[in-house]
Every structure is written in structure tokens, then in C-alpha cells.
């Protein structure tokens, strides 16, 4: 990429977002151009990538189009070899060449790297995987919409794209639109402002056979967007078009979701992805190492899988960072080095015990399902484990009562308070209950 274009790009960008933000967020980003009119921005870590994506994507694209032409597309990727300290990182001559190639642009809105082939299946994600496969192979017409629900970094976006990639492979003429719910919203706002709402509606309602919408939780509280999406949804659904939605929240937990939209989401099939079990974490790490051509000793893999439990993205990040660190510094790839990487990755407290982990452990202890804990079922078989799980969410995860209520299928905070008190008192008088609590806590590593 030529330096002049690069400088132009920065100038354009600073008009859009201001010098200070440019310094803060983009000084550590590497820009290069690949052969398909694609501008690739590499960021040192996922956090920066997410931040840039969330906040500056439109501006970046606008600036890139001004400099490289209107057909330019933008790609963001993580390159852990980039320095994380501020430096002259935008100057490509001062950078190591970006290590990994950009995903092949086989489809404008799909990520070609996310396929069923490289998705590791385990007990935590097998239902979601099976449902996605069925939809991709067009075996399940009534799975519409397919609602995939699960915590951050557990493979929702991966599966969503895998369905798209498989559908395209089987029917190359299929019009597939894969997008973030946020983009839908931004497009809509822009269309309203520019009085182009008809064009917008045509794009979403008529010009697509399959809509894959990622991170729908962002629509919570956005009434106008929900309304538009509701009509889009109905029109597509009535025409028999496929709809797949992902969310990090269960429909019932999205408290400011319009009821009619919620019932639409619940009208197809809802599948969840849980944090992967130890064995699945090992399998994911091994697969990833193999794909990236990394040689990592088994005990280091095991160590990473023990330490990073709730986020596959972090698991992968640790692996890449570890191997980069070892090759850059010449240190042996061992457990000590792994520990350094892990502690740097986990400082933001994300690995704290989550409500999901508590629910999962409690459910498996009582041999019921996590969905039973979230369901309205009130018989004792479910009610007691639910109260215990709520109590532990309070004690171990320090969540607020309304937060706990939301995690348990949208229950009222007064119900949560009642449950926490009941268990709090009960554990001092009921020996068996106390023993159960201790065992579950041990299983949670608390
Ligand atoms: P989410 O959308 O749920 O936040 P992603 O789909 O972005 O999570 O997944 C985060 C990263 O972890 C991606 O790089 C994805 O490929 C990887 N990943 C998640 N689950 C799996 C899995 N079961 N097998 C292989 N890779 C996975
Ligand atoms: Mg995602």
C-alpha cells in the first residue's frame, strides 16, 4: 500500500472522528490493501477491534472509499503481533507484515473462515450445531426462525456464518444477507434521514432469501428499529424465507423487547450454546493449533484449557499470543509463559464466575436442565435447585437481584430476594442443603 494513500486515509479519518480518537484507537492499527479492493485493518487485540467496529466502522469505510474508491470494502482482523503500545503503527513500513491472510471474499457478507468443518462439537454446543446443520441442509423447514442464544465468544457468529457458507455452497444463487443487528439499525436510521426507507425495505424484505442477523440483543429498547424489524421479519417469514438470529440473551431476558417480537422469536426453535467443557476446550485448542500450524506441548494446551473456561475467543487468543510471544522472544513454549499470557488476558475479570456457570453446575448436580432453571415450572424438583442457583449467583457472582431475575427467565427481583433469603437461612438449619451447597461450590472452584 502506498504511503501517500495511507496518509490521505488518516487525514480523511481525522476529519470524521477527530484527532484525539484517532490517536487513541487507531494509532495501533495497521492498514494494508489486499488484491480485491479490500482494505484490511489489523488491530493488536480483539478489544480494540470490537471497539473500532462498534464505534468507527462507518467513518472508516467512508474514509477508505474516499481514498481508494467507492467499491472498497473494509476488513478488520486481529494480529496479536502488533505492538499494543502507541507507536507509529499506521505506517506500514514500521510494521511486521500481517501474518494471517484475510478470509477469502467468497461472499460479501459472510466470513468464509467460519465453517462447520472447523467447528468443534461437544456437549455444550451440540444442539445448536445440529439445528444449524439441519437448517443449512434444508432439512428443517419449521426451524424458522432459528434463534441461537449463548454467552460472548462461544461460537454464535461462527455457526451463523457456517450456515450461510453451507447454503451458498449448495445453492450459489441464493441471496444471503448476514449482518449485525446494529448495521440493520444504522441502515434504517440513515434511510429514514435520507428519505430512502423504500429502498431499505426492498433490500431487506425482497432482495434476500436468507437473513442471518447477529447480536439481536442490541435491539432491546430501540423501539423504532424493533418495529421495522418486526415488519421485515413478518414479510420474510410469510414468504417462507429463512431467518436465523443470534443473541447473547434469551428472548425472555430481553426486558425491553416488544412482546410481539418476542413471541415471533419464540415461534421457531431456540437453541443455546453453553461454555465448553474441559474436553471440548482441549479439542478446540488442538484444532486451532493444527490449523495455524503451531506446535504446542500437550501440557501447555491442558494448562490453557484449565485456566480459560468461559470464552472460546479468549482461548484461541491465548494460543496465538502464546506462540507469537515465544517466537518473538525466543522463550520456550512452556507453562510459565502460558501463565503470563493467561493472566494478561484475564485481568478484565471476564473469567469471574458467571450466572451461566452457576446454573450449569447446579443443573448438572440435580440432573435437570439449565432451561428448567429458567422456566416457569414450579414443582419442588426445579424450584429448590433454582433457589440454590439464585443464592449462589448472589454470593459468588455478586450480581444484583434484578440481574439475577433476568438470568432466570425474567423473574421479578422480589422472587430472587425471597429465594436468596430462604437458602441463606436454610443452609444453617438444613444439613443436607448445606452439604449440597458445599459440593456445588467446590465444583465451581469457589
Ligand atoms: P460469539 O459470536 O458467540 O461471541 P464467535 O462465533 O465469534 O463467538 O466465536 C469466537 C471465536 O471462537 C471464533 O474465532 C470462533 O471461530 C471460535 N469458536 C467458538 N466456538 C468454537 C468451536 N466450537 N469450535 C471451533 N472454534 C470455535
Ligand atoms: Mg458474535
Give, using CA atoms, the residue closest to atom 14 of ligand 1. 313
Measured from the alpha carbon of residue 311, the closest ligand is: 1
Model pLDDT, residue 88: 31
Q: Is 262 exposed, middle or buried (0-12, 13-18, 19+ CB in 10 A)?
A: middle
Of 161, 255, 292, the C-alpha closest to 214 is 161
Model pLDDT, residue 106: 61
Note down pLDDT in tens along the chain; length 446 residues.
566 677 778 778 877 777 666 665 676 577 777 766 777 877 766 556 666 776 677 888 888 888 888 888 888 877 655 654 333 333 333 333 333 333 434 678 889 899 999 999 999 999 999 999 999 998 888 899 999 999 899 999 999 999 999 999 999 889 999 999 998 898 888 888 888 888 888 888 878 899 999 999 999 888 889 998 999 999 999 998 999 999 998 888 887 888 888 898 999 999 999 889 999 999 999 999 998 889 999 999 999 998 888 889 999 999 988 988 888 888 889 999 998 888 777 755 545 678 888 999 999 999 999 999 999 999 999 999 999 999 999 888 877 888 899 999 999 999 999 999 999 999 989 999 999 999 998 887 66
Q: How far is the CA of 157 from the centre of ligand 2 (A)?
A: 4
Query: Dihedral, CA atoms, 185, 190, 191, 195, nearest 10 degrees?
Result: 150
What angle (nearest 5°) sits at the alpha carbon of residue 338, between those of residues 337 and 340? Answer: 65
3-state secondary structure of 65: helix
3-state secondary structure of 177: strand
Q: How far is the CA of 262 from the centre of ligand 2 (A)?
A: 20
Of 289, 311, 223, the C-alpha closest to 261 is 223
Give, using CA atoms, the residue closest to atom 18 of ligand 1. 155
Choosing from 154, 212, 279, 356 the residue with most ligand 1 atoms within 8 A of its CB, the one to mutate for a pocket test is 154
pTM exceeds cut of 0.85: no
Report residue 40: phi and psi, to 5°. Answer: -110, 125
> Cell 494471517 sits at which residue?
100
Tell which atom from ligand 1 comes closest to the C-alpha of 158: 6
Ligand 1 binding pocket includes 312 (Cβ within 6 Å): yes
Model pLDDT, residue 54: 66
Give, using CA atoms, the residue closest to atom 25 of ligand 1. 119
The total of other beta-carbon atoms located within 10 Å of residue 123's CB is 11
Tell which atom from ligand 1 comes closest to the C-alpha of 119: 24
Ligand 1 binding pocket includes 311 (Cβ within 6 Å): no
Q: Return the CA Rg of the chain.
A: 23
Tell which atom from ligand 1 comes closest to the C-alpha of 152: 4
Amino acid at each position: 500500500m502506498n504511503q501517500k494513500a495511507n496518509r490521505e486515509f488518516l487525514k480523511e479519518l481525522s476529519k470524521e472522528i477527530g484527532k484525539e480518537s484517532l490517536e487513541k484507537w487507531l494509532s495501533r492499527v495497521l492498514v494494508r490493501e489486499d488484491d480485491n479492493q479490500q482494505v484490511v485493518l489489523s488491530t493488536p487485540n480483539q478489544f480494540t477491534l470490537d471497539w473500532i467496529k462498534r464505534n468507527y466502522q462507518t467513518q472508516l469505510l467512508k474514509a477508505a472509499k474516499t481514498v481508494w474508491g467507492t467499491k472498497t470494502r473494509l476488513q478488520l482482523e486481529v494480529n496479536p503481533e502488533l505492538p499494543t503500545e502507541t507507536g507509529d503503527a499506521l505506517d506500514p513500513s514500521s510494521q511486521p507484515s500481517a501474518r494471517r491472510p484475510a478470509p477469502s471474499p467468497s461472499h460479501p457478507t459472510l466470513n468464509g473462515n467460519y465453517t462447520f468443518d472447523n467447528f468443534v462439537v461437544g456437549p455444550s454446543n451440540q444442539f445448536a450445531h445440529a439445528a444449524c446443520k439441519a437448517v443449512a441442509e434444508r432439512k428443517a423447514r419449521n426451524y424458522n426462525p432459528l434463534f441461537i442464544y449463548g454467552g460472548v465468544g462461544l461460537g454464535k457468529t461462527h455457526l451463523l456464518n457456517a450456515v450461510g457458507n453451507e447454503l451458498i455452497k449448495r445453492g450459489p444463487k441464493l441471496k444471503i444477507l448476514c449482518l449485525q443487528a446494529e448495521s440493520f439499525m444504522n441502515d434504517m436510521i440513515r434511510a429514514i434521514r435520507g428519505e430512502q426507507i423504500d429502498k431499505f425495505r426492498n433490500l431487506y424484505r425482497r432482495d434476500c432469501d436468507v437473513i442471518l442477523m447477529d447480536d439481536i440483543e442490541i435491539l432491546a429498547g430501540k423501539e423504532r428499529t424493533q418495529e421495522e424489524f418486526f415488519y421485515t421479519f413478518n414479510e420474510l417469514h410469510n414468504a417462507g424465507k429463512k431467518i436465523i438470529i443470534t443473541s447473547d440473551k434469551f428472548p425472555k431476558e430481553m426486558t425491553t423487547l416488544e412482546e410481539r417480537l418476542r413471541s415471533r422469536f419464540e415461534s421457531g426453535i431456540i437453541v443455546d450454546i453453553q461454555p465448553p467443557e474441559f474436553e471440548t476446550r482441549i479439542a478446540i485448542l488442538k484444532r486451532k493449533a493444527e490449523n495455524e500450524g503451531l506446535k504446542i506441548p500437550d501440557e501447555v494446551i491442558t494448562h490453557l484449557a484449565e485456566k480459560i473456561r468461559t470464552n472460546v475467543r479468549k482461548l484461541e487468543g491465548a494460543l496465538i499470543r502464546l506462540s507469537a510471544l515465544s517466537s518473538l522472544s525466543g522463550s520456550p513454549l512452556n507453562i510459565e509463559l502460558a501463565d503470563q499470557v493467561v493472566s494478561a488476558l484475564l485481568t478484565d475479570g471476564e473469567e469471574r464466575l458467571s450466572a451461566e456457570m452457576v446454573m450449569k453446575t447446579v443443573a448438572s448436580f440435580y440432573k435437570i436442565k439449565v432451561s428448567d432453571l429458567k422456566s416457569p415450572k414450579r414443582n419442588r424438583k426445579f424450584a429448590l435447585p433454582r433457589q440454590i442457583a439464585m443464592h449462589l449467583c448472589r454470593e459468588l457472582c455478586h450480581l444484583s437481584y434484578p440481574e439475577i431475575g433476568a438470568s432466570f427467565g425474567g423473574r421479578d427481583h422480589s422472587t430472587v430476594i425471597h429465594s436468596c433469603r430462604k437458602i441463606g437461612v436454610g443452609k444453617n438449619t438444613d444439613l443436607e442443603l448445606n452439604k449440597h451447597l458445599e459440593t456445588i461450590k467446590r465444583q465451581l472452584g469457589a
